Amino acid sequence: MNIVFKALNDPIRREILEILKEKDMTAGDISEQFDVGKPTISHHLDLLRQANLVTSEKDGQFVIYAINTTVLDEIMKWLLDLKK
Amino acid sequence: MNIVFKALNDPIRREILEILKEKDMTAGDISEQFDVGKPTISHHLDLLRQANLVTSEKDGQFVIYAINTTVLDEIMKWLLDLKK
DNA sequence: AAAGTATTTCGATATTTGTCGAAACATAAA
DNA sequence: TTTATGTTTCGACAAATATCGAAATACTTT
């Protein structure tokens, strides 16, 4: 839970999720959407993966990333509970 | 939005919200629930207030904090949108 | 007015985080 | 088997963050 909030606490990482929501993408294609270096994006993707917010699959020399929304339910449950 | 995720990205601040969910409390009473100093809790409360997640009202020499859940709807909307 | 209680601000420090370029690793193409 | 392309790891550094004790501020009580 801690790590999910940590992963969501960054504008770039949140934007990555919004991009992946539209379609799966390679690490390179993702990094092209941003003005920071590839190592930095790789690091962000690593954090997102640790939080289980994205999955990664190797396809030849590419690594394809996809959003994984199952964890979001947990967060929403926690948020909803605060309102009760 | 950025500041809300930042505010939620801390175990102590999230626990403060869970405590305030039950009942409004003074800064001192809140700090007694934790093993960190009062200045630290004061700082956390300040961040929560900046994010509009709590409100504070002065009552004599006390400051009473209360949870404010209106911002949570925004977050949930953002989370839900990721699933569409 | 003086002393006591509640809370925040200040100044300092250790830790964490985002970023980078260079190098390493992995696969593909020539 | 070189050469090229895609991705991650490494080492370093600057900025942000959590924490603390002491001091400052605000209010209450005596």
Q: State the pTM of this model.
A: 0.94
Cross-chain residue pair B8–A11, CB shorter than 8 Å = no
Instruction: State, as a whole number of angstroms, the distance between the CA of B68 and the C1' of C6.
Output: 23
Beta partners for residue A66, in sequence order: A55
Low-confidence ranges of chain B (pLDDT < 70): none
**What pLDDT, on a 0 to 100 scale, did the predictor assign at position A48?**
98
* pLDDT interval class at A1 (50, 70, 90): confident
A40, A43, A47, A48 alpha-carbon torsion, rounded to 10°: 70
Cβ atoms within 10 Å of B72's Cβ, excluding its own: 21
**What pLDDT, on a 0 to 100 scale, did the predictor assign at position B25?**
98
Does residue A84 surpass a pLDDT of 90? no
**What pLDDT, on a 0 to 100 scale, did the predictor assign at position B33?**
97
**What pLDDT, on a 0 to 100 scale, did the predictor assign at position B84?**
85
* pLDDT interval class at A65 (50, 70, 90): very high
Contacts of B57 (CB under 8 A, 6+ apart): B63, B64, B66
User: Which ranges of chain A does DSSP label H, i.e. alpha helix?
Assistant: 2-8, 11-22, 27-32, 38-50, 70-82
Q: A-chain residues within 8 Å CB-CB of B8? A: 5, 9
* Cα–Cα distance measured from residue A32 to residue B5, given in angstroms and rounded to the nearest whole number: 25
Q: How many residues are recorded in chain A? A: 84
Residue B76 in contact with partner chain A when CB distance is under 8 A: yes
Instruction: State, as a whole number of angstroms, the distance between the CA of A45 and the C1' of D15.
Output: 21
Q: B-chain residues within 8 Å CB-CB of A18? A: 82
**What pLDDT, on a 0 to 100 scale, did the predictor assign at position A9?**
98
